[in-house]
Amino acid sequence: MRKNKIDFLVYILFAICVCHCSLAQKENNSKISRQEYKVLNDFFSNLNQGSKTRIYCKTFFDKGWVRYFNESGMTLIESEIGTPTTISFESLDSMLTKKRLSKIASQISISRPIKINQKKLNESIELVDKYDEEGYLNVRRISRPIILDDLAIFRMLSFDEAPIFIMKKEKDNWEVVYTFYDWLILE
């Protein structure tokens, strides 16, 4: 009888631990971090130079751009180069190691829509709750930034283009060092 009580107690403790860890992981993945907001604020401050960019209020979580972050993806990244780009292909290759490509692909694969907090954004960004209706075609949708050490990547979608930005942390600011395009097919 005593053994059954101990087994039951162990089972209950195990279930509590699993639930707690699961909730903690969900909570951690459901908010944009301070550093991710820093990436967005630095990017849009440099892009706008005094004007505002309208951004949809939730992150975009499409998995289609994962194809750029596998072993054959570097060829695609290099063939779709855009502006601004300030580094060479050799520098890009050294930044995007196989290990980093794998981590980026993994983060894209598990991405979920996350509500963006207007209070954590600078004045160059305006959040809106629509993106595909008349009058809202200039609204951008963005992915959650993926940060690996001094490297950040995010995708921005507009009505007719989908640039992917690779940013590097220089001192305390994030700067775009490479841009490539995931072309959209409009019907």
Q: Which tokens hold the place of 131?
A: 């993106």
Higher pLDDT pick, 138 / 127: 127
Contact between residue 179 and residue 155 where contact means Cβ atoms under 8 Å apart: no
Query: What amino acid is encoded at 150 in this protein?
Result: D
Report the SS3 class of residue 166: strand
Using one digit for the tens of pLDDT, what is the confidence trace for 55-86? 999 999 999 999 999 878 888 888 888 888 89
Beta strand residue intervals within the chain, DSSP E: 53-56, 81-82, 125-128, 141-142, 146-148, 151-157, 163-170, 173-181
| In the predicted structure, residue 173 carries a pLDDT above the cut 60 | yes
Contact between residue 80 and residue 92 where contact means Cβ atoms under 8 Å apart: no
Contact between residue 153 and residue 165 where contact means Cβ atoms under 8 Å apart: yes
Q: Whats the size of the chain, residue-wise?
A: 187
Give domain limits for the chain: 1-30, 32-181
pTM listed for this prediction: 0.80
Using one digit for the tens of pLDDT, what is the confidence trace for 85-95? 899 999 999 99
